[in-house]
Amino acid sequence: MKNLLSLIACALVCIVLVQYRVSNIKPGEPLKITYWDANGYYLYLPSILIYHDYKELKWVDSIDNKYHVTGGNGVQAEKADNGSYVFKYLGGVAIMELPFFCVGHFIATHSHYPPDGFSPPYQYALGFGIIFYSLLALLMLRKILLLYFDDKVTAITILLLTLASNYIQYAAVDSGESHAYIFLLYTLVLYAAYKWHKQPSIIWACITGLICGFATMSRPTEAIIIFILIFWNTHTKETAKAKWQLVKQHKTHILYAALLGLLGVLPQLLYWKAATGHFIYDVGSKWQFLNPYFRVLFGFEKGWFIYTPVTLLFIAGMFFMKPYPFKRSVLWFCLLNIYIIIAWDDWRYGGSYSTRALIQSYPVFALPLATLTNKVLQQKWKPIFYLAGLYLIGVNFFQLVQYNKTILHFNDMNRRYYSHIFLNPSPPTPADMSLLDSNEFFTNEECRHAPVLAIDSPKVIHADAGQPAILAEIADKGGYDKKYWLKVSGVVKTKDVWQTYLNADVVMANGIKHAHVRLFNAISQPGADNTYTFWMSVPDHAGVKSIKLYITSPFTFNGTVSKLDIDAYYPAEK
């Protein structure tokens, strides 16, 4: 069979997607695809097709009480000036989810499950349906790459693009987000661009315009997809001149493409008109174009280059695109796309593994990755490239496991904590977990140390919402003037772990030093006895007067503290 390697690569990726989807279905827990942000994309379907209520959303509270789909932050909609609710996210993804919604609805109506839009048949249909879209996208991407590269380069590119990146997470686990859906649209527009430039026709012009419009209806920032079309086949003066002559010869094609682009966003305009009385509605995004957040790329919170370093190869490949017709289109699109992504005001993009907002455009990044791969495979040191690729895939798989166990945190990563868990097969210790909230860590526990506080008797704790629950308060026992460390440990049992912290205040002569550790972490279990540990350094001549331990929570807190310890470590003494 011709081009078998790249076909096997596509099949292998889909097998991995199915495996990750199945392995992340937890026994005894319902599968939740339409959850948090994903719920905002999906709301159009049950609102319009089942409840026939997309303005008042009277049905949402009962569904949330039953399935807890909003994550506790309320429905992903806001009230317009006319009093009607308007969905926060655009409806393109919902339209792409429609076939799987229909499958789920058919199963629900012919089984014992409630046909309410959120019962298990809908969740499973969506969870596995996106893998079907992913297969289509991979096959289309393969088709595009084979236009310019051989089978081996195409296969390696597909494997690196997907298995070494965060694509797996958002096509197989957090698949209710928009990224994997729009990924398919990018493959389609790349192929449509190629077809129109090779042999212009009204059909391909219309298809191109429709896809661009629909992508914009899925996420407004995807409107920049048009730059792929504008700069395609302009990599030399001669080809650019020929391209614009082609455009002049087929002006009507451009008109048809524009009209179909408008048709692609028309459903959203009609929804806004029906919900608000206006065809255009401001969804409220904020941007910092003059002060973009480069930490989106380089930061240890969730930096693109840090947690998915294969993306460095995406960028490196751009230096080898000179002979290809997609050179300028890829370059301009990718630079503008990255700029927009790092300029969004909510630069963390919610909970995510690496920077998820770039995933949908990976088909475009596949082209420079393929040019780099093609270049490297012509070198004598290509075995090093193979080993590096396997390493990147291995690191990614390891981190995916950590991410889905919340060891690799979805929002609060930092350099020091990452260094403790990077490729570490052992579960993190309570002291490791403290680094999510503190940058202080002491390792020389062999030095002289002495107990400051030791409480072994259980104590039942209750505190009203927002009020501190005092656990212990002690006066300083000595006047040690050199720098030393305090190790604070406690065993706490409570179900109220979310946004709850174990705190310590060290009152010194010149102020108060504070430290805390969250009760909800990767190694804690709600309702069980959990151990928490963190370190605090006390500077020279601090003049410590007292130490206070307490628990804080924005909610009502009920729990038991069965053990509290504070030990002082003196590194200046053996």
Domain around 542: 432-570
pLDDT at residue 413 in the model: 98
Whether residues 389 and 436 share a domain: the answer is no
Residue 185 within any structural domain of the chain: yes
Host H or E run for residue 19: helix 4-23
Residue 422 within any structural domain of the chain: no
Which one, of 19, 34, 40, 25, lies nearest residue 91 by Cα?
Answer: 40
Q: Which residues, in sequence order, are bridge partners of residue 508? A: 511
Whether residues 238 and 372 share a domain: the answer is yes
Residue 426 within any structural domain of the chain: no
Residue 375, Cβ density class (10 Å: 0-12 exposed, 13-18 middle, ≥19 buried): middle
Residue 420 within any structural domain of the chain: no
Residue 153 within any structural domain of the chain: yes
Whether residues 392 and 449 share a domain: the answer is no
Tell me which amino acid residue 499 is: Q
Whether residues 253 and 320 share a domain: the answer is yes
351, 384, 404: which is the final residue of a domain? 404
DSSP SS3 for 207: helix
> How far apart (Å, rounded) are the C-alpha atoms in residues 536 and 488?
8
Distance of CA 20 to the CA centre of its chain: 16
Residue 52 within any structural domain of the chain: yes
pLDDT at residue 481 in the model: 82
Residues 6 or more apart whose CB falls under 8 angstroms from that of 475 comprise: 545, 546
Q: What's phi and psi for 361, nearest 5 deg?
A: -95, 10
**What's 521's domain CATH number?**
2.60.120
> How far apart (Å, rounded) are the C-alpha atoms in residues 528 and 175?
31
pLDDT at residue 478 in the model: 58
pLDDT at residue 572 in the model: 77
Tokens of 70: 């909003």
Residues 6 or more apart whose CB falls under 8 angstroms from that of 471 comprise: 459, 461, 490, 549, 550, 551, 561, 564
Torsion on CA atoms 225, 229, 231, 237, rounded to nearest 10: 170
DSSP SS3 for 188: helix
CB 170 within 8 A of CB 209: no
Whether residues 537 and 443 share a domain: the answer is yes
Whether residues 393 and 436 share a domain: the answer is no
> Dihedral sign, CA of 283, 288, 292, 295?
negative
Whether residues 383 and 530 share a domain: the answer is no
Whether residues 450 and 368 share a domain: the answer is no
Whether residues 52 and 147 share a domain: the answer is yes
366, 388, 404: which is the final residue of a domain? 404
Residue 206 within any structural domain of the chain: yes
Whether residues 474 and 397 share a domain: the answer is no
Going from the first residue of the chain to its last (574 residues), give the mean pLDDT of each consecutive group of 10, the final group possibly shorter: 95 98 93 94 98 97 93 85 96 98 99 98 98 99 98 99 99 98 99 97 98 97 97 95 96 98 98 97 89 98 98 98 97 98 95 97 99 97 97 99 97 97 97 97 92 94 96 80 94 95 95 97 96 96 93 96 96 77
Residue 418 within any structural domain of the chain: no
Q: What's phi and psi for 56, nearest 5 deg?
A: -95, -25
What is the number of structural domains in the chain?
Answer: 2
Q: Which residues, in sequence order, are bridge partners of residue 78? A: 86
Whether residues 37 and 129 share a domain: the answer is yes
Output the CA–CA distances (angstroms, integers) from residue 194 to 189, 191, 550, in the order listed.
Answer: 9, 5, 64
DSSP SS3 for 365: helix
Tell me which amino acid residue 21 is: R
CB 461 within 8 A of CB 500: no
Whether residues 137 and 225 share a domain: the answer is yes
Owner of token pair 């026939």: 52
